[in-house]
Chains A and B, each alone.
Chain A
């Protein structure tokens, strides 16, 4: 189904099932431990061998020699695979560094071998016996040093890396009120709870991987490329995924080494990356240095807006897109953005939840707070004053409109609900007992991309509707919103729908990434259901254009029949893909939000406690408010992490992330997070998809950290521009304790 005209009224608009806060249909499996994750597929691989991955212990250099002898002789060891004995192993198109290193080592903890043994304990013990001699070479691990040599990347998410409109330099120089601030954000880890894990099994030249991956079809192609085999001989199965956040967009070492290990061992092999290996072995969100310059008139009209960002990656890598939102959020006639990429020899930088916008808001939305202070203007009002309904960065006429843009409504609704009027604009004045209390706000922008997505929907003689698509559920609620979509389309209760996901034998979906999953994959199911409705109507001899599907029955005029009757002679199948035309070129598809945060700060220790959080989101039709709310509170939680604690500490001498486990890479825990509130504004966007939906999972993190930082400033009067805002950075500037 081509989607190239705005949607008109369709069966989804009935909203009998879609739009309801339905419990997750896979919930009972998850809460009882019955949902099978990749490493747990005893049903398909009853007696696998176990692989233990060995990571390089230098940041850059070469393997001089490897002594595998003692490990090979260790009890239970079946085989050891290294780059030397693995046969040809290619590099995936999505990988910057190859997944098995040697002799050249590109980064610390790059996998260099897998020890395969009868048991986990034996594999782990034998891995300790492998002796490796390295020749270390000098590398660059310090972004602040590499910054001046950073180059313009070829492109930034498909477009030119830099943008310019009007005369930024002139307007900034002439501005009555200015901000010129530099912010730093550290490297971040996805730190999803389930380690990257795979069971690999060969049957002749066919390979099946039970793995944990967000993008099944990408992964299938990548395995084929890496192992030099036809894509048709690779099958990926990933029905349950223990978190991804972008860290499981790509094939990683667990999948490749399990495949190689299984081939060498002649039996299925399973591997879960050891937690202390994950952070340096896999990808991370890169650190940034960002300079934001804002110029405004005395009455708060922004006249100049400039955002420059530096990040680093391995040779051939990609920049962080921290300037994205600055091209979209505020009107200003004179503007520039610039992105520079340095070469660093740290582990591979890549996408993590809202790549670009997550870091970019951490700078821009604090700079706006600084401008509001300079103007003596309320930061909510300043943002409203500079709203725009067209893309402000688009050079040339006519301006490109946003299909929907309710940023002002988000800000106003949030201010009202949060009690923003009670905020004292003078920092350091509000107290609650001994606590210094402050409020902060930030705007949120994130694109609403859509991707081609296919599904197959089957109707059987019992009236069950079965959906099959290689789409993934990474905690996002996909199972449930797809079931809701199919139920609405076919006029059956939710209990009559079964959803099977994450298998490359199913039609290729959009996958989970970039906040495109919900809108795209449900639209694919919509398309397949339209085909099935057609088949049902024809089978029953009804006019397909007049057939009404409701309450498990199909009716047209005075004729009616149970839906199941259509499949009495055999199953009916509808299969189709949604393909998106140029509506996203005619309209800017985006989601907007406003985050409000209240913090308390201990005046003696500068300990920061988040006391209240509110997000107001405008993100198209909300397919399931319960699941969508969970996406947003989860993103708010991650935003608190990047504001207050998350930082991969770089050993700039040895070239690795020092705090590479869950004890030392601190993420928010229960005690860090208060009750959180989320409001979704009414919105349907007929230009995005027949579902009229967008996404929220990435919008939810955009701006959160800045709102926390701004609340800290309001509470204590200390402006910290180096994230995370830990108490050591606050202490020196804290107000005197009375």
Chain B
């Protein structure tokens, strides 16, 4: 199969999937739309957050990040840039880490969302959270929830064999090395500069040596 043909298939695939998704999961636009051209368009959406089903009626412009922070009061996910540049808003949706500021809440009908609050709480920390405390993988703490959500997903990605730029051979199973972790974590900025400690924390959770 040549490259152009592959692209054609995948483009069609996207269209088909997109259509199916909208047929099944299109949020129902409420009456508010009729209130006037300028009135915010509200839509209902339901998804699971940290194991609990949540139903919301939201301005369709609301990002997943703002829905979590402003509507559900889950302020552990941070807004650092609101433009997908810093990673502070990283959450895990359907098993994959995403920048929650770069996606609209209404796009996640039926989604399973894990935020930092869902990983663990003081007194019952997730091993990654505990390792960040032990290795002092933060200072101000503002990028930390995003770093931790990212780190948890990174280890799953490595386990699943998802390749990265750090690997010489994309078909080989990636290993938990410092270079792999640094490459995969590079979407999460820590301006306090605790990177060296963060890699040690993740390495410990992965059971390796940094």
Contact = CB atoms under 8 A, between A and B. Distances in A.
Interface in A1-54: 23-24, 26-37, 39-40, 42
A662 interface: yes
A669 interface: yes
B191 A275 contact: no
A520 to B, nearest CB: 19
Contacts of A275: 80-83, 85-86
B138 A34 contact: no
B122 A630 contact: no
A23 B133 contact: yes
B194 A634 contact: yes
B141 A240 contact: yes
B40 A75 contact: yes
A33 B85 contact: no
B76 A33 contact: yes
Given A23-B136, A671-B182, A30 B80 contact: no
Given A35-B141, A191-B191, A675-B199, A29 B122 contact: yes
B85 A661 contact: yes
A661 B82 CA distance: 10
A668 interface: yes
Interface in A34-93: 34-37, 39-40, 42, 73-76
Contacts of A559: none
Contacts of B66: 120-121
Contacts of B130: 31
Interface string A626-644: 1101110111111000000
B193 A661 contact: no
Contact of B139 (A76, A475, A676): A475
Interface stretch (B5-13, B16-24, B113-121): B113-121
Contacts of A73: 38
B136 A122 contact: no
B47 interface: no
A276 B83 contact: yes
A662 B138 contact: no
A571 to B, nearest CB: 26
A191 B88 CA distance: 13
The range of chain B's interface size is: 35 or more
Contacts of A39: 75, 79
Contacts of B188: 669-670
A33 B116 contact: yes
Given A475-B140, A670-B195, A34 B78 contact: no
B116 A673 contact: no
B106 interface: no
Nearest to A22: B136
B210 interface: yes
A120 B70 contact: yes
Contacts of B195: 633, 637, 668-670, 673
B78 A242 contact: yes
Contact of B142 (A34, A243, A669): A243
Contact of A670 (B77, B117, B186): B186
B140 A241 contact: yes
Contacts of A673: 182, 193, 195-196
Nearest to A664: B85
B38 A74 contact: yes
Which of A31, A39, A243 gathers the greatest number of chain B CB atoms within 10 Å?
A31
B170 interface: no
A330 to B, nearest CB: 29
A409 to B, nearest CB: 24
A552 to B, nearest CB: 23
A194 B78 contact: yes
Contact of B59 (A119, A637, A661): A119
A86 to B, nearest CB: 26
Contacts of A667: 189, 191
Nearest to B200: A675
Contacts of B81: 275, 661-662
A509 interface: no
A274 interface: yes
B61 interface: yes
Interface in B59-97: 59, 61-62, 66, 69-70, 73-83, 85-86, 88
Contacts of A476: 139
B187 to A, nearest CB: 8
Nearest to B84: A663
A358 to B, nearest CB: 14
B198 interface: yes
B197 interface: yes
A120 B181 CA distance: 35
A122 B60 CA distance: 11
A634 B192 contact: yes
A629 B187 CA distance: 24
Given A242-B141, A633-B196, A634-B193, A670 B181 contact: yes
Contact of A31 (B74, B144, B193): B144
Interface in A380-422: none
A592 B75 CA distance: 40
Nearest to A36: B75
Which of A76, A195, A274, A662 gathers the greatest number of chain B CB atoms within 10 Å?
A662
Nearest to A677: B196
B208 to A, nearest CB: 14
A662 B85 contact: yes
A130 B148 CA distance: 40
Interface in B120-163: 120-123, 125, 129-130, 132-134, 136, 138-145, 148
A631 B125 contact: no
Nearest to B142: A242
B190 interface: yes
B189 A662 contact: yes
Contacts of A630: 136, 139, 192, 194, 197
B3 interface: no
Contacts of B193: 633-638, 668, 673
A74 B119 CA distance: 40
Which of B130, B185, B190 gathers the greatest number of chain A CB atoms within 10 Å?
B190
Given A31-B116, A243-B191, 15 more contacts: A27-B136, A31-B130, A40-B69, A75-B36, A121-B59, A242-B78, A244-B140, A276-B83, A630-B192, A633-B193, A662-B81, A662-B86, A662-B189, A669-B186, A676-B196
21 contacts: A31-B125, A32-B125, A32-B129, A33-B78, A34-B122, A35-B141, A37-B78, A73-B38, A75-B36, A121-B61, A121-B62, A193-B78, A243-B140, A272-B79, A275-B85, A474-B140, A475-B140, A633-B196, A638-B191, A669-B188, A670-B188
